[in-house]
Structure 1
Amino acid sequence: MTEPRWLDDREMAVWTSFLAASHLVARRVEQQLKEDAGLSHPQYEILVHLSGAPGGELRMTELADLLVTSKSGLSYQVGQLEKAGFVRRRSCPTDDRGVIAGLTGQGREKLRDAAPGHVAAVRETLIDVLTRDQLAVLAEGLGAVGRRLRGG
């Protein structure tokens, strides 16, 4: 059995900083969305992706891939949005097993109302804390991690 490649001091500092920052940013963004818009962060992201899709609609499988979540987790969140009148689901006309989620007018309005506070929270907790150079390095590095984990 080969010896594990333990993290050196710099690598450990990166790992612990990443964990702390990602948890703290996620917690603050989640709190802001709940308090100001009554949405969870996954629900907000669903509305964002649907608003950017042609006709405001996406297949549930595509939406799950975009959100990097399980189909069951997505179904729950979409169900909550559907109960609130922000999203509607319908059968896919080309695939009997497929389901399409679509943004309603009420959902588009909810997103328009929630977006300014969300962007302010993202700026306050992450973007405005970093320099332009730090943002570029972080985007490049985390982009590489995401591509590798997605298999690309």
Structure 2
Amino acid sequence: MDSGTETPWLTTKQQRIWRAFLGGTTVLTDRLDRDLRNQHGLSMPEYEILVRLSEAPDRAIRMAELADAVAHSRSRVTHTIARLEREGIVQRGQCSDDGRGVSAVLTDHGFSVLEQAAHTHVRGVNDYLIENADPQDLEALGRIMDKVQDHLQGKKF
């Protein structure tokens, strides 16, 4: 960052909104994570990986692509996949397209685990977020977060 640029301090209203966003996203994510852990033994990051795998062709994604998709480091994804592999939820295999890379593959057991966990997760999203927002507010939130993602993805810090 350019130290010669004046800092755009937040107004009182912007500061209140920012703190509400931080607090809300923290408690929402924590509650969704707790529900998944308590009922299915999965963390939110693990659940997100399973969802990505379930949506992929042949339920398989290259490890490097998976790390990019869930915005985690490759080492963190490797560690998470290793735990899921020990549980028989995921297995690693050679990439089908070139045989050089390693893919994570969602097993049939893993798909069954995901099917059960999805009910808990979606119910939580509905109860904790959707039911507490007007449709217009949800649409605005979606637009804002899409813009933030678009702006920050690809930027190297």
TM-score over 0.5 (shorter chain): yes
> Which whole-Å deviations, capped at 9, do the CAs of 1:6-63 have from their partners, x for residues lacking one?
1111211221011100100010001000001110111111110100000100001111
Shift of the 95–130 alpha-carbon distance from structure 1 to 2, 3 Å rule, reads same
Q: Output the CA distance in 1 between the equivalents of 2:52 and 2:6.
A: 44
The aligned counterpart of 2:139 is 136
Q: Structure 2 unaligned runs (5+)?
A: none
Q: Does 1:67 align with 2:70?
A: yes
TM-score (norm 2): 0.91
Structure 1: 5+ residue runs without aligned partners?
A: none
SS at match of 2:104: strand
Deviations 1:104-135 (A, max 9, x none): 00000001111111111111111111010000
Task: Determine the structure 2 residue equivalent to 1:27.
Answer: 30
Q: What per-residue deviation string (whole Å, max 9, x for no partner) do you get for residues 59-84 of structure 1? A: 01111111011101111111111000
Residue number in structure 1 paired with 2:115 = 112
Separation in structure 2 between the aligned mates of residue 36 and residue 5 of structure 1, nearest angstrom:
44
Q: Aligned runs of 1:66-85 on 2, under 5 Å? A: 66-85=69-88
Q: How big is the shift at 1:151?
A: 2.9
Give me the whole-angstrom Cα distance separating, in 2, the residues matched to 1:111 and 1:143: 26
Identity value in percent = 36
Give the whole-Å Cα distance in 2 for the aligned partners of 1:5 and 1:49.
37
Counterpart residue number, 1:100: 103
Q: Give the Cα–Cα distance (whole angstroms) in 2 for the partners of residues 3 and 92 of structure 1.
A: 49
- Residue type matched to 1:126 in 2? L
Paired with 1:45 and 1:139, the residues of 2 have a C-alpha distance of 18
1:118 maps to amino acid: H
The 1:2–1:147 alpha-carbon spacing in structure 2 relative to 1, beyond 3 Å, is: closer
Going from structure 1 to structure 2, the CA distance change for 1:12 and 1:54 (only over 3 Å counts) comes to: same
TM superposition outliers: structure 1 runs of 4+ over 6 Å: none
- The one-letter amino acid of 1:136's match is E
In the alignment of these two chains, the number of paired residues is 151
TM-superposed CA distance for 1:3, in Å, is: 3.0
Question: Could you tell me how far 1:95 is from its partner in structure 2?
Answer: 5.2
